[in-house]
Amino acid sequence: MTHAEKILAQFDLTDWELREIKKEPVTKEELTEMYKKTKSYEALFSKKSTQIKSRGIDVKSLEEKDFKKLLLDHYTFLKRPVFITDDKIFVGNDKKNVEALKEFFEA
């Protein structure tokens, strides 16, 4: 079970739309909407993606436009899981994000 799957299993997602981005990648429009909530493509970018090493990417040299391009290029560049509400976004599996997500579901 992946980190994302473990996080998903903690919540009642009956009313949520679940999507496997490997089969149905994020569109440019969806990425733009996520950007509006985070104000940063880097915040959406997974620095743990296996594509970084295989492509020889120097993450420290990337700019926002580079993060955007990579996010649209391959699904593994997007931190997971991603929860999007009307006014909030929760991205990734770090402890701080998971705690914020728990607070959201408990509210």
pLDDT tens-digit readout, 22-63: 999 999 999 999 999 999 999 999 999 999 999 999 999 999
Global pTM value: 0.91
> With contact defined as beta carbons under 8 Å apart, do 31 and 72 qualify?
yes
pLDDT at 70: 99
Say what the pLDDT of residue 2 is.
87
User: Sign of dihedral through CA atoms 19, 23, 24, 28?
Assistant: positive
For residue 1, pLDDT over 90 is answered with no
Query: What is the CB neighbour count within 10 angstroms for residue 94?
Result: 11
- The domain 3-106 is placed in CATH, from the list 3.40.30.10, 3.40.1260.10, 3.40.50.2000, 3.40.50.1450, at 3.40.30.10
pLDDT in tens, 57-68: 999 999 999 999
pLDDT at residue 3 is higher than 90 = no
pLDDT at 92 over 90: yes
Domain limits of the chain? 3-106
